[in-house]
Amino acid sequence: MKKILFVSSEAHPLIKTGGLADVSGSLPKALAELSQDIRLILPNYQQLKTQGEPRYLCTLRVDNQDVSILETQLPHSHVKVLLVDYPPFFDFPGNPYNDVTGNAWPNNAERFTLFCRVAVEIAMDRAHLNWKPDVVHCNDWQSGLVPALLSLEDHRPATVFTIHNLAYQGLFLGTKYHSLNLPNQLWHPDGLEFHSMLSLIKGGLVYADRITTVSPTYALEIQTPDFGYGLEGLLRHRQEVLTGILNGIDTELWNPQTDETIAQCYGIEQLDQKRANKIALQQRVSLPVNDRVPVLGLISRLVEQKGIDLLLDCLPEMVAMPIQIVILGSGSVSFEQRLQNFAHLYPQKLSVTLGYDENLAHLIEAGADIFLMPSRFEPCGLNQLYSQRYGTIPIVRQTGGLADSVVDALPESIANQTATGVSFHQANAGALMEAIKRTIVLFDHKETWRHIQRNSMRKDFSWRNSAQQYLSLYHEL
Ligand code: ADP
Ligand code: GLC
């Protein structure tokens, strides 16, 4: 049995802005089910939704500040969660990274430096919790300083750093470094310095014993200039310790047979009942109720990564087709406005819901026929996995985890019953449009469509395999 400290800045259902929360809420659970002794550590944000009051454990003095450690439980699991309670940094409305107006917290460097320092104290058992992990598993830039600071300790636990998205690096002005009271030994171009800036993600990339990312294809892509943001050289240099492990999903939360948030549960043998969800979805988002037109869904952060601009370029042609489009998301103001303008012009064709709504997300997965994920890059992506489990056929760009989890419906894959979606290569509107048209043709062949739906629903995206791969990695260390 391994003792694992899992360091993350979000975890579903306590606090979520994106896929990192899905992973941090479900991988520790899967590892606990494999009999590992795992604890999660998170900042105690004001928005955090715990079941009951967290329990006070102790107070630590870090960098001249008194920080309390609280303990709660990850709901529906045996995983203990340690909360870093420092109200001057975390007790504000807004999300983990931005204030309510969507601007990054001006003290993000200070906030996550403190969080990492506390994680290091726990990892070295200097909080006297009588528990010293064998492995500290960190995720994304917010926890990047943990491997860096631990590298300076004797008798330290092993460290793993997982890249969920290399586009977010925790970059700050280099002049900030010294005001953070970080050790001088880490400040050089082969350390935390990146072209005179402070790069918190480099703490993980340079100093962790092992680096993982969330799909095998993304592990290769980030070693190239197109996806590496200038870090490709460092990643190539560390390729011996870099692997890609495809994310799993929480198969209890995302299960069309038991999902309480949808209109009608259904399984692979009752695919006809999926129809009730389509009708409920059309009603919910005020589109004409029509069982025959294909409904295309999209749930996403509305940012460039997700190929929203490609979709916007396709919309004029799409609204002339016999289809409906349901979009749920939030993000860039310009994308939000352009989508809303279209929805106002074509209210019978396109519904746009701005904001964050988990119940609607489940209903879209269950009610749509087709799911759109035209991402420019996608480290793993979770909605294409949820879609396949719900028999909602994904259209994806062939990149990262999308390439690793969706099998394009071509004559051969249709014949040997491995097809689970439709994919396209080029990141342009023409290629997306061609994929949409190809999917509609398949949709009209009812029998073929059913086969593709069944192939998708049969796939095992549970954590079983991937959690085992993480465990093997911990054992190698
Ligand atoms: P990323 O982490 O890059 O945003 P993922 O596909 O890995 O992308 O995960 C996104 C997660 O966030 C999924 O669980 C998705 O359903 C959810 N999500 C994204 N936007 C919304 C929204 N507006 N409302 C509800 N859930 C959302
Ligand atoms: C990131 C990536 C996404 C991935 C998620 C969880 O947010 O953008 O592709 O699925 O992390 O690993």
Provide residues with CB under 6 Å of ligand 2: 18-20, 23, 164-165, 214, 247, 378-382, 401
Total residues found in the chain within this entry:
477
3 state DSSP class of 169 = coil
pLDDT mean over 74-92: 97
* End-to-end Cα distance, the chain: 14
Which pLDDT band, with edges at 50, 70 and 90, does 372 fall under?
very high
Counting atoms of ligand 1 from 1, which one is nearest the CA of 361?
Answer: 25
d(CA 146, CA 340): 42
Mean pLDDT, the chain, whole residue set: 97
CATH superfamily of 271-460: Glycogen Phosphorylase B; (3.40.50.2000)
Calculate ∠ Cα 336-425-370, nearest 5°. Answer: 55
d(CA 401, CA 378): 6
Check pLDDT > 90 for residue 313: yes
- Which residues have a Cβ under 8 Å from the Cβ of 291 and sit 6 or more positions away? 275, 278, 279
Distance 20 CA to ligand 1 centre (A): 9
Calculate ∠ Cα 212-252-303, nearest 5°. Answer: 55
Supply the pLDDT for residue 101: 87
Which pLDDT band, with edges at 50, 70 and 90, does 267 fall under?
very high
Which pLDDT band, with edges at 50, 70 and 90, does 436 fall under?
very high
CA-CA-CA-CA dihedral for 306, 312, 314, 319, to nearest 10 = 120
Which pLDDT band, with edges at 50, 70 and 90, does 262 fall under?
very high
Distance 248 CA to ligand 1 centre (A): 15
Distance 344 CA to ligand 2 centre (A): 31
Which pLDDT band, with edges at 50, 70 and 90, does 102 fall under?
confident
Of 84, 5, 78, which Cα lies nearest the Cα of 40? Answer: 5
Which pLDDT band, with edges at 50, 70 and 90, does 393 fall under?
very high
What distance lies between CA 278 and its chain's CA centroid? Answer: 26
Check pLDDT > 90 for residue 201: yes
Q: What pTM, to 2 d.p., does this model score?
A: 0.97
Residue ranges of the chain assigned to CATH 3.40.50.2000: 3-248+464-476, 271-460
What amino acid occupies position 166?
Answer: L
Q: Which residues lie across from 171 on neighbouring strands?
A: 199
Distance 16 CA to ligand 1 centre (A): 9
Of 30, 40, 31, 34, which Cα lies nearest the Cα of 10? Answer: 40
pLDDT mean over 73-92: 97
Provide residues with CB under 6 Å of ligand 1: 18-20, 22, 299-301, 328-330, 356-358, 361, 380-383
Site to substitute for ligand 2 among 16, 20, 302, most atoms within 8 A of C-beta: 20
Check pLDDT > 90 for residue 89: yes
For the chain, percent of residues with pLDDT exceeding 70: 100
Distance 271 CA to ligand 2 centre (A): 29
Distance 149 CA to ligand 1 centre (A): 31
Yes or no: domain 3-248+464-476 corresponds to CATH 3.40.50.2000: yes
Check pLDDT > 90 for residue 58: yes
Site to substitute for ligand 1 among 9, 26, 165, 300, most atoms within 8 A of C-beta: 300
Check pLDDT > 90 for residue 473: yes
Contacts 24+ apart (CB under 8 A), 427-435: 427/307, 427/310, 427/374, 427/376, 427/397, 428/310, 429/310, 429/313, 429/314, 431/397, 432/307, 432/310, 432/311, 432/314, 432/374, 432/395, 432/397, 433/314, 433/317, 433/318, 435/395
d(CA 274, CA 99): 39
pLDDT mean over 314-334: 97
Supply the pLDDT for residue 322: 97
Nearest C-alpha to atom 12 of ligand 2 is from which residue?
A: 164
pLDDT mean over 76-80: 95
pLDDT tens per residue across span 26-39:
999 999 999 999 99
* The two three-digit tokens of residue 69, written as one number: 């450690």
For 314-350, b/e burial (b = at least 16 CB within 10 A) is: bbeebbebebbbbbbbbbbeebbebbeebbeebeebb
- Beta strand 197-199 with 193-194 is antiparallel
Supply the pLDDT for residue 71: 98
CA atoms within 13 A on the CB side of 431: 17
